[in-house]
Structure formats: structure tokens, C-alpha cells
Amino acid sequence: MSFYARGVDAVGVVDRTGPGAARALGRVRSLLLAAHPAPAAAVTAVVTALAAASGRGVTGTALIGASVLAGQLSIGWSNDAVDAARDTVAARADKPLATGAVSRRTVAVAAACALTACVPLSLASGRSAGSLHLVGVAAGWAYNLGVKRTAWSWLPYGLAFGLLPAYLTRALPGSPWPHWWAPTAAALLGVGAHAANVLPDIDDDLRAGVRGLPQRLGGRGARVLAAGALGAGSAVLLCGPSGPVDLSGVLGLTAAGALSSAVVLWPPGRSRAPFLACLALAGADVLLLLLRGGRLAG
């Protein structure tokens, strides 16, 4: 038996990174994976950067970031807790609950704790601003609890994303509302992201009984929805703010139109090109939104 297996190193000191600690770290890692860390981190990073650009200040920006992270973690964990049985039947190797790496009860408790933390963190930015964010988080939970299986699956995404600019501006001095183009573009980004997200898995979703709007539309219809919403979001961000559209705006509209057309006209099949083009469109919309962060409200 090795010294490591006995939990003692070569000089007789207790090794605190033995099998027990390794198992604990593995459970923590599995728990984090069940929270959908990539989209949670992406949304948190974008909203935090937008808060800084809008003039929230260091403390205000930190509160915004913490509240958004808590909300996103609660949505991610609740999603996997709700879908645990289905993912287990489907033998989803990418789902920690399906593999038994973490229990459903642990994930459900984590979701509840994150949601509980989200409430005071959101309201710390003001009752009006915090309430708007909590409505968006509630929309995410509603999606997980059943709306995603209906033709209204796009609505929680549009609502949650569309409320984010108002969450940021209502927390500013004077509690201004954002200009119309900011929530409109954010809502279109959310709807487009929803449609784009399901493009690679439409067939699997249909076999599992998930019949949200993109799945009901089919592969071509989902691509039209994704490209149309994301392209429209680009147009709103480029043309909505006051002032003439300059050469860069014209070039941006041209590029967005070209990408949208490519997504719609791409030949049917399992190619990831339409999905990647949608990601490029979404990335461009996010960049435009960040560039206009200081102009969200008058």
C-alpha cells in the first residue's frame, strides 16, 4: 500500500488531499457543472460589463454582477433538477445528475440557496430595479418548469433578456428607464439565442418530448427564427440610438444581413455552420450593446 493511499506522505505528515478530499472536490465540480457554468458565466460577464459601462460604479457593478450570477446559477441548477429523470433515461453522459455524480436533492438545495441569495442582492440596487431582475429570474424558472415544452418557449428568454437594460438603468441616480431600443434589442437577442441554442439538438429534443417553438418549427424554421431575431437585434442597435447611421453602421447592417441570410439559406443537414453563424450574430449584438452601454438611458 502506498503512502498516498494511506493518507500519509513520505515524511509522515497527514496528506489532506487524499481520497476523501478528492471525492469532495469531485462532487463540487459536478455540482458546478450542473449549473450550466458556461452560459451563466457569459451572461454574468456581459451584464457586469454593461453595468460598468452604464455608470454604476464599482460597488454597484459588483452588486449587479453578484445578483446576476446568483440568478443564473439558480436557473441552471433548477433546470438540471427538473430534467434529472429525463436525462437519466437518455443516459446523458454530460449531465452530472444522470451519471450519479451528484444527487438531485443536492442540486435542488443549491438552486434554492442561489435563488434566496438572488433576492437581497437584486433589491440592494433598489426596489424597482431589483424587482425587474427578479421577474427575469422568475421567467427563467418558469421556462424550466414547463414553458420550454410549449409554443411560448421564446417568451421567458425575451422577457428575461429584455428586462436587463431596465435593471441597470433603474439602479442609476434618478431611476431612469432605458431608451426603447435597449430592451427591444436585448429581448430579440434572447429570443435569437433561444432558437440558436436548440439548433444542434432539435431531433433529440423532439424524441424527448420537448416541443418548444423552435422544435415545432423544425430545423429550417428554427434557423429563420434565430437569424431573424438576431439580425433584427443588430438593426435595432445600429439604427435605434439617435443620430445618423455612419459608414460603420452601414457595414454592420450589411454583415448582419449576410450572416442572417447564410443561416436561413444553408442547405439542410447536420452541419454546425448555421449554429456558428448564429453565435457570430449573437456576439456582434452583445458587442454593440456593450458599445452603447453609456447611452442606455437619457
Q: What is the pLDDT along the chain (298 residues), one digit of tens a residue?
A: 333 333 333 334 444 555 677 777 888 899 999 999 999 999 999 999 999 999 889 999 999 999 999 999 999 999 999 999 888 888 888 899 999 999 999 999 999 999 999 999 999 999 999 999 999 999 999 999 999 999 999 999 999 999 999 999 999 999 999 999 999 999 999 999 999 988 888 887 887 788 999 999 998 999 999 999 999 999 999 898 887 777 777 888 888 888 888 888 887 766 778 888 888 889 889 988 888 888 898 7
SS (H, E, C) the chain: CCHHHHCECCCCCECCCCHHHHHHHHHHHHHHHCCCHHHHHHHHHHHHHHHHHCCCHHHHHHHHHHHHHHHHHHHHHHHHHHCHHHHHHCCCCCCHHHHCCCCHHHHHHHHHHHHHHHHHHHHCCCHHHHHHHHHHHHHHHHHHCCHHHCCCCHHHHHHHHHHHHHHHHCCCCCCCCCCCHHHHHHHHHHHHHHHHHHHHHHHHHHHCCCCCHHHHHHHHHHHHHHHHHHHHHHHHHHHCCCCCCCHHHHHHHHHHHHHHHHHHHCCCCCCCHHHHHHHHHHHHHHHHHHHCHHHCCC
The answer on 158 and 288 residing in a single domain is: yes
In a domain, 66, yes or no: yes
**Number of structural domains the chain divides into:** 2
The answer on 268 and 157 residing in a single domain is: yes
The answer on 169 and 99 residing in a single domain is: no
In a domain, 134, yes or no: no
The answer on 120 and 84 residing in a single domain is: yes
CATH number of the CATH domain containing 247: 1.20.120
Per the structure, the complete domain to which residue 234 belongs is given by: 150-297
